[in-house]
Structure 1
């Protein structure tokens, strides 16, 4: 009876979940990566995500929002033209970064007049370039040269932005601009940077940066984005995980439906220094930079794919994430199995959805992992229960083919195909959709993913 009630509770939680946003970031520096890794707005699938955030714009010395790259405005136009194919797609422009090593927010929030100038320029800029909203990417108020008062000034900025967005919508009779933010995941940073109860109600959604918990700046291996703590964690590190971050934001008064869980399409690397290769193994800096991202300390998922062909992989059961080693190189990364575990947890917590950092670090072209384009994000999308994209066709219906009737009466979701382990069904609104694993893999219902036999 107890097991039945527990299962019923899980089903009710899934039914009540509000995880209906899939927000995907793109970066304007990914266009400079070589070969098949070059990414622009033209590489975006307009039906993959519910929202796309273009990263990054800045704030100039006159407190005006402004471009960074030479072709940003061209890329804005190409991104927003995708709404002709998918009118439901929403786009936001992210503002942040640094100017001479300092966040441009620091000078802008200091005075009411400078905040007003920024807000006015932002509204005009967003409307001119056909964006649906603004994303604030300040890392972080009251940190990195930002004075303690910026915690309260950030609150004022958020409130003033929303008030101005409301007035603009009334004056122009247009849909009100959206407001979101990328926010910290470490408890001490959260407490010092944000008045959570005061700001959370004003955002349309809040992007929790639930990654970069560990990296090569530490002297021992740790996973980039673990779901839970590990037995190796000591001191404050027991809070360096998704479960702790989300619990803290909720305890501080953030509504669950406003919080989006961060899903990284990259891994963090280390250079091992001894024969030990497990979690907590001694390290000295990062592994070699990836050939495409060319930045020490992390690899895009498509670079991880190449590494895995000759690496030894392990699953960290207590944290629900994988890592891989080859020689002295160690990478903690995410795959379809870890994404599935996080989606299940996210849905149970009734969070508002997911955000992905970034589109351009998944295998967007399908050139590296041999699993089709956007293998991670497409899996995330299906795991969250979104409807099949327009390019997906329903299973054929014939009088002798029982496949078409498989989903009749079943809840939406992914299911095993008993007749063929290399395929699986997606049920949506009673319709049956047949999907194929990549060659050599079979479908496992335990992780709702394809994996090696």
Structure 2
């Protein structure tokens, strides 16, 4: 039970599962979406998530952490000022993403890593973050060599040591250290020393989405809970159950793992009259008017489509899909979120991570279901509710 006071009222926050995290990412590029799709740190609800992760910072050519957008520091301040409203909320700064190639030179030797670590700890303290999130997509991939698997472990180990020393020196609470990691075992094997990095990280957000998309020739769901009867070969592992189980079998403690919940769906253009899972497809549907990326629709864009589409349910994967004309959409809704929460509880996972807040109906303008309908449902399903008195 947490009781704290704002200027106008008291808020009582009940947390039924104290160990359960709800970690919510949001992106600094969502500020460029048009009209009602525009999202800034001012749109964050400070009572919605246990942890909010600002995405993204990058690694500069001098191996130091660096901003990306012109107004990042303004948005840092606006986000972290929300802790004056809810002191329980934690914030982290994520580094990596599309600029992940910059990790390659930074991790190459101990001196470069030390430069980054010193700059990163100073940076997150200066801007009042509670921790750092590593989002390298991925060690051993995209120009990264095989040795970077071990160098990533070294970076994490050295970060942990520096964090503990900094806390001793400053007498402050130690900074949090997390990572956003791959879900496919073919990537995991090349990228991570799972047992070693898990030892030094506070929590690990598995990207349990993007299992299927318009790059494939048949329809498949973005984030299925289990495999389908159609899955053969390596596709047998393109599901949440397989991914999380693989992380655990390789030595990751279940309580440090967070299940990734996407707030978007992926589309296909059907190339025949078939509409079921595994139907022939050829490319993506048109981009949504706000996210403006072919094959990728935010939940608030999905609401408009689903209201006019034929909605189905994939029983063996516990996820919905929708079709209209030649468009096939695999997405998540409250029912699939509930199924995934039930499963993550059965696995004793540490909680959930959300990609991303700016893709939910954050202002309640599209889905006629209030602000943040999916994340609020996820929060309540995890056993967390805030009560205003």
Instruction: With the length of structure 1 as denominator, give the TM-score of the two structures.
Output: 0.81
Pair 1:93 & 2:90 matched = no
The aligned residue for residue 297 of structure 1 is 295
Distance, in Å, in 1 between the alignment partners of 2:375 and 2:17 is: 20
Instruction: Tell me, yes or no, if the aligned pair for 1:18 and 1:351 is still in contact at 8 Å.
Output: no
Matched with 1:183 is 181
2:198 equivalent among 187, 197, 200: 200
Counterpart position of 2:9:
none
| Deviation of the 1:151 alpha carbon | 0.2
- Partners of 2:184 and 2:152 in 1: CA distance: 18
Aligned to 1:21: 21
Match of 1:285 in 2: 283
Once residues 248 and 299 of structure 2 are traced to their aligned partners in structure 1, the CA distance between those partners, rounded to angstroms, is 30
Give a deviation string over 1:254-303, Cα, whole Å, max 9, x none: 00000000000000111111000110001111000000000111100000
CA contact (8 A) 2:140 2:148 kept: yes
Within 1, Cα distance between the matches of 2:152 and 2:64?
17
Secondary structure of 1:314's counterpart equals strand
Q: Distance in 2 between matches of 1:107 and 1:313?
A: 48
**1:412 counterpart residue number:** none
Question: Which residue among 130, 135, 142 is the counterpart of 2:140?
Answer: 142
The residue aligned with 1:33 is 33
- Name segments (4+ residues, structure 1) moved above 2 Å: 16-19
Partner of 1:345: 343
Q: Secondary structure at the match of 1:237?
A: helix
Alignment of 1:354-365 (within 5 A): 354-365=352-363
Structure 2 matches for 1:385-404, cutoff 5 A? 385-386=383-384, 388-391=385-388
Spell out the pairing of 1:16-415 with structure 2 (5 A cutoff).
Answer: 20-99=20-99, 103-386=101-384, 388-391=385-388
- Taking the aligned partners of 1:199 and 1:59, their CA distance within structure 2 comes to 20
Q: Does structure 2 conserve the Cα–Cα contact (< 8 Å) formed by 1:18 and 1:353?
A: no
Counterpart mapping for 1:408-423 below 5 A = none
- Unpaired runs of at least 5, structure 1: 1-15, 394-453
Q: How much does 1:183 deviate?
A: 0.4
- Report deviation, 1:39: 0.3
Shift of 1:97: 2.6
Q: What's the RMSD between the two structures over aligned residues?
A: 1.2
- Cα offset, 1:19, TM superposition: 5.4
Counterparts of 1:343 and 1:31, CA distance in 2: 30
Mapped to 2, the partners of 1:237 and 1:315 lie a distance apart of 20
Q: Cα deviations across residues 104-161 of structure 1 (Å, max 9, x unaligned)?
A: 1001000111000000000110010000000000010001110000000000000000
Output the TM-score relative to the length of structure 2: 0.95
Maintained 8 Å contact 2:63/2:112? yes
Alpha-carbon distance in structure 1 between the residues aligned to 2:26 and 2:45:
12
Residues 159-209 of structure 1, C-alpha deviations (whole Å, 9 max, x = no match): 000000000000000110000000000011101110011110110000000
State the alpha-carbon separation in 2 of the partners of residues 94 and 112 from structure 1: 21
Conserved? CA contact 2:337–2:378, under 8 Å: yes
Q: Distance in 1 between matches of 2:370 and 2:254?
A: 33
Pairs aligned (count): 374
Compared with structure 1, are the counterparts of its residues 334 and 98 closer, same or farther at alpha carbon in structure 2 (3 Å cutoff)?
A: closer
The answer to whether the 8 A contact 2:140-2:190 is kept is yes
CA distance in structure 1 between the aligned counterparts of 2:162 and 2:333, rounded to whole angstroms:
41
Cα contact 1:301–1:361 (8 A) shared by 2: yes
Secondary structure of the equivalent of 1:378?
helix
| Contact map agreement 2:255 2:350 (CA 8 A) in 1 | yes
* CA deviation string 1:343-392 (max 9, x = no partner): 00000100000000000000000000010000000000000111x2133x
Q: Distance in 2 between matches of 1:313 and 1:107?
A: 48
Q: CA deviation at 1:232?
A: 1.0
- CA contact 1:19–1:350 (8 Å) conserved in 2: no
